[in-house]
Structure 1
Amino acid sequence: MYITVEISYYPLTENYDQPVFQLLDLLNNQPEITVESGTMSTLIRGEYDEVMQILNTSMKELMRNYPSVFNLKIANACELKEPK
């Protein structure tokens, strides 16, 4: 099943940009998924099991190192459509 995840990450640390960039690096280095970064959130697309495994590993790594808040929306009905 193909899914789209919208993720927002809020590291509760002074230098919050460092863990945000670390998360983006972890996600962008995964060829199984498509990552589209925005200013407020990031969209991740791919097969359910692959996306969830990557999120599990990435979020766990960051939560070991930083106090963190993640906000996720997961949908199987929001495929990317080509602009007209």
Structure 2
Amino acid sequence: MQLSVEISLYPLQDNYLEIIKWFIDRVDAYPDVQRLTNGMSTQLGGDYDVVMALLATEMKAAHQQWGRGVFVCKFIPGGVNLDHSE
């Protein structure tokens, strides 16, 4: 089963751009997950179990590395075409 997730990270620190870029770089290490980022959020797409495992691992790593931060996510089971724009 496919899954698409829209995720936004709001680090509770002054160097928030560094932290967001760090998180995106880590997500890019997963070759089986498609990523599309814009100025407001990052969209991820791929196999349900792979995407959920990525989120569990990388969200925990972000909290361990940087402390407090807020993640806001939207989940769409079945996935969407991340290349689509209109």
Partner amino acid for 1:74?
F
Instruction: Find the counterpart in structure 1 of residue 70 from structure 2.
Output: 69
CA RMSD of aligned residues (A): 1.7
Instruction: From the superposition, tell whether residues 12 and 3 of structure 1 become closer, same or farther in structure 2 (CA, over 3 Å).
Output: same
Deviations 1:19-67 (A, max 9, x none): 1001100111110100001100000000000000011110001111221
The 2-side partners of 1:57 and 1:14 are apart by 24
- Which residue number corresponds to residue 15 of structure 2? 15
Instruction: Pick closer, same or farther for the CA change 1:82–1:67 going to 2, 3 Å.
Output: closer
Q: Name segments (4+ residues, structure 1) moved above 2 Å.
A: none
Partner of 2:27: 27
Count of matched residue positions in the alignment of Structure 1 and Structure 2: 84
Report the residue type matching 1:66 in the other structure.
Answer: G
Calculate percent identity across the aligned residue pairs.
33
TM-score by length of 1: 0.91
Question: Which residue does the alignment assign to 2:38?
Answer: 38
TM-score (norm 2): 0.89
